[in-house]
A and B are shown apart, each in its own frame.
Chain A
Amino acid sequence: MFSIPSLDQNMKMIYLITSIITLIFFTSLVPNIVFADNLKSPTFEVQMSTINITGGNKSNEDHSINLNDTVGQTFQGRFNSDGFVVQAGFQYIHSIVPFSFKISNLDIDFGSLVPGVPSTRTNTLTVTTGSAFGYSVKAIEDHPLRRVSGTVATIADTSCDLATPCLQTDANQWLDNTRYGFGYNMSGTDVDLGDFEDSNFYRPFPVQNVDEPAIVMSKDKMATSSAATVTYKINIDAAQAAGTYQNSIQFIAIPAF
């Protein structure tokens, strides 16, 4: 009926298959001919007769970005004759779009506070880098929330939950309503979401003349209307002295150079 292959036949078959696969494998590894003078990548093409990193025009394939070097006699000549050379903006970004910074609300008014009941407010920070390549927004407060009249009393900056303490540059969970203080959460574009993991992660503000401002938004590329929401949270103890508490928070938006 059916002939059962012997062990020898099986071994021959294994050798045959192995040989074929090996042959295909090594055939695929035979290097293609490489034209060294065709210096072109999917994103970039260098239009020079020689491999040289200065001089010449460079452009991408659809010519939407064109860069040119200004190294050489032009700069040197201008410097020698005028005694100065001024370069405004970035050589590689042909744009006159300004660097802009917007804040949706400058008055974070919490109104009356109820002990043990956290109160939150939000505003939005928006950055457009324009012709700058990257930016950072830092935050700092003049002092912790301080009573405006009577003897000095403050609402301390939060240290978040006891089991998950937070720092000025390290957000952590603040869910416990028996933990009191003032802090902020960040969400949205160009926010370090590895730090502000979710809406329950808070940080205390750094204090002016004591601490360094903390980065709340940043990007190492151009940004167009990058928007982030700041959520401010206060939770006070029943023992908190009655009164009106105020402070000032400064957001500093600086382009990268």
Chain B
Amino acid sequence: MTKKYLTIIFLSVLFTLLSSQKVSAENYGLSIYPPLLRIHIKPGKSITQVFKIENLSSTDKTLITSIIPFSESDNFGNPILDPKTITPWLSYFSLANSQIKFNEPFNIAAGASEQLVLSISIPEDALLTDIYATIIISTYENSLTQSFQGSSIRATLGSNLLITINDQAYPDTILKIENFYPLDNNYLKVGNLYFVDSITPIKFTALVSNEGNFSAETKGVFRVSTSNNKPIYLDGVLPVNVIAKSRRAILSIDGNNFEYTPSLSNIGPHQITLEIKTDNSNTSTTIEVFFFPLKLSLGLFLTLLIIVSVLVITSKSSRKSIDTQ
């Protein structure tokens, strides 16, 4: 009897498993290269640039591409797109593809790649200015079935275009270093002097502000020097683009905040300098730091206090015992 039941259950499970349909949710995957295009161009000139896009999903996709301007970014270079903005310079952009046009859907097969041939033509009378835009590729919105209850997901990815229109290769830039100070509150500030423990690693943060009308790239060094101006530590600045009228965090070459680990020998006044050099201007900021062995001194003080206390107590108890005798 039990055997019969077990066989029925086994067969039921087997048939259920075999008869179940494969459920595969529609997925999305798209890649683009290059993710950034930096162009310096004179008025009256034209260029073309190929963007390679690849459909990484398991199904064919209908996509749509367009150019979205932006004029602002956050401190880490993420553009704040403004799709509502309509500027005359959007007409500088066109696609040289025969099949793909801006704002018109096109298909790309699963696993296939496609090239977007972007043409940029700057008129002779174009304003000498920077223009910033993102070329975006979005999934084309399909109509949902009436029975579908929920959200259909659309995906968009993009690549940024930073374009400087000028007669000069290096138009004037005005960069200023701001908010350069130690992090984590591991310091004591008196006036402009930072007192910092000499055996604790210390991190620094800084921003660069571009007050000019053209993008600039941050190149430079973070330097720790003695009071005699002898450098004892040097780190590179990560080269990043700072668009006009924006701020950007300055990071070390490995993309982190600048960090310096002093040694016991680093006692006394030091200078921490951040230098940024653009193609036609320099800016630097220096903060004065006094390294002193705070933790070591506290340790020694406590040690001395304990020794002295022990000796005093020993001495007192000895006196007492003499007095009682």
Interface residues of A (CB under 8 A from B): 4-5, 7, 10, 13-14, 17-18, 21, 25, 28-32, 34, 36, 39-41, 43-44, 46, 51, 53-54, 58, 65, 67, 69, 71, 75-76, 79-80, 82-92, 96-113, 121, 123, 128-136, 141, 145, 148-149, 212, 215, 218, 220-222, 232, 234, 244-257
Residue B95 lies at the interface, judged by CB distance under 8 Å to chain A: no
Q: Decide: A245 and B157 in contact? CB cutoff 8 A.
A: no
Q: With contacts A43-B235, A220-B255 known, is A255 near B160, CB below 8 A?
A: yes
Q: Decide: A25 and B296 in contact? CB cutoff 8 A.
A: yes
Residue among B148, B254, B304, B322 making CB contact with A244, cutoff 8 Å:
B148
Q: Decide: A80 and B267 in contact? CB cutoff 8 A.
A: no
Question: In the bound complex, what is the Cα–Cα distance between A41 and B238 (angstroms)?
Answer: 16
Stretch at the interface among B10-18, B24-32, B101-109: B24-32
Beyond A246-B148, A252-B158, list 16 extra A-B contacts (CB 8 Å): A13-B311, A31-B267, A36-B231, A36-B232, A79-B42, A82-B45, A86-B49, A87-B39, A92-B238, A104-B27, A106-B25, A107-B148, A108-B150, A220-B251, A232-B151, A255-B158
Across chains A and B, the number of contacting residue pairs, with CB separation under 8 Å, is 306
Q: Decide: A246 and B35 in contact? CB cutoff 8 A.
A: no
How distant is B48 from chain A, measured CB to nearest CB, in Å?
10
Q: Decide: A248 and B77 in contact? CB cutoff 8 A.
A: no
- Which A residues touch B293, using CB under 8 A? 29
Q: With contacts A25-B300, A99-B32 known, is A249 near B78, CB below 8 A?
A: no
Stretch at the interface among B1-9, B178-186, B188-196, B312-320: B312-320
Residue among B44, B141, B230, B321 making CB contact with A34, cutoff 8 Å:
B230
- Which A residues touch B241, using CB under 8 A? 257
Question: In the bound complex, what is the Cα–Cα distance between A146 and B301 (angstroms)?
Answer: 70
Q: Decide: B233 and A41 in contact? CB cutoff 8 A.
A: yes
| Interface residues in B235-287 (C-beta closer than 8 Å to A) | 235-236, 238-241, 243, 249, 251-255, 263-267, 275, 277, 279
Q: List 15 A-B contacts (CB under 8 A).
A: A17-B304, A21-B300, A36-B232, A43-B252, A46-B236, A85-B39, A96-B33, A100-B54, A100-B157, A109-B150, A246-B148, A250-B154, A253-B156, A254-B158, A256-B77
Question: In the bound complex, what is the Cα–Cα distance between A232 and B152 (angstroms)?
Answer: 12
Q: Decide: B33 and A220 in contact? CB cutoff 8 A.
A: no
Residue among B78, B235, B243 making CB contact with A135, cutoff 8 Å:
B78
How distant is A207 from chain B, measured CB to nearest CB, in Å?
13
Question: In the bound complex, what is the Cα–Cα distance between A176 and B238 (angstroms)?
Answer: 47
Residue of chain A at shortest CB distance from B77: A256
Question: In the bound complex, what is the Cα–Cα distance between A30 and B264 (angstroms)?
Answer: 9
Q: Decide: A80 and B275 in contact? CB cutoff 8 A.
A: no
* Chain B interface, number of residues (Cβ within 8 angstroms): 103
Residue among A44, A134, A253 making CB contact with B76, cutoff 8 Å:
A134
Q: Decide: B34 and A131 in contact? CB cutoff 8 A.
A: yes
Q: Decide: B56 and A247 in contact? CB cutoff 8 A.
A: no
Residue among B234, B275, B296 making CB contact with A39, cutoff 8 Å:
B234
Residue of chain A at shortest CB distance from B26: A106
Residue of chain A at shortest CB distance from B76: A220
Interface residues of B (CB under 8 A from A): 25-42, 44-45, 47, 49, 52, 54, 56-57, 73-74, 76-81, 134, 136, 138-139, 141, 144, 146-160, 162, 169-170, 219-221, 226, 230-236, 238-241, 243, 249, 251-255, 263-267, 275, 277, 279, 293, 296, 300, 303-304, 307-308, 311-312, 314-315, 318-319, 321-322
How distant is A99 from chain B, measured CB to nearest CB, in Å?
4
Q: Decide: A105 and B25 in contact? CB cutoff 8 A.
A: yes
- Which B residues touch A46, using CB under 8 A? 221, 234, 236
Question: In the bound complex, what is the Cα–Cα distance between A79 and B254 (angstroms)?
Answer: 30
Residue among B27, B233, B249, B319 making CB contact with A105, cutoff 8 Å:
B27
- Which B residues touch A212, using CB under 8 A? 80
Q: With contacts A246-B152, A253-B157 known, is A10 near B255, CB below 8 A?
A: no
Residue among A14, A44, A249 making CB contact with B235, cutoff 8 Å:
A44
Residue among B78, B138, B146, B170 making CB contact with A76, cutoff 8 Å:
B170
- Which B residues touch A31, using CB under 8 A? 265-267
Residue among A5, A92, A246 making CB contact with B150, cutoff 8 Å:
A246
Question: In the bound complex, what is the Cα–Cα distance between A80 and B42 (angstroms)?
Answer: 9
Question: In the bound complex, what is the Cα–Cα distance between A34 and B74 (angstroms)?
Answer: 40
Question: In the bound complex, what is the Cα–Cα distance between A36 and B300 (angstroms)?
Answer: 32
Question: In the bound complex, what is the Cα–Cα distance between A101 and B239 (angstroms)?
Answer: 25
How distant is B1 from chain A, measured CB to nearest CB, in Å?
40
Q: Decide: A84 and B40 in contact? CB cutoff 8 A.
A: yes
Q: Decide: A110 and B150 in contact? CB cutoff 8 A.
A: yes
Q: Decide: B151 and A246 in contact? CB cutoff 8 A.
A: yes
Residue of chain B at shortest CB distance from A69: B219
Q: Decide: A98 and B54 in contact? CB cutoff 8 A.
A: yes
How distant is A115 from chain B, measured CB to nearest CB, in Å?
14
Q: With contacts A17-B307, A53-B219, A76-B169 known, is A98 near B275, CB below 8 A?
A: no
Q: Decide: B39 and A247 in contact? CB cutoff 8 A.
A: no
Question: In the bound complex, what is the Cα–Cα distance between A102 and B25 (angstroms)?
Answer: 13
Residue of chain B at shortest CB distance from A249: B151
Question: In the bound complex, what is the Cα–Cα distance between A28 and B38 (angstroms)?
Answer: 52
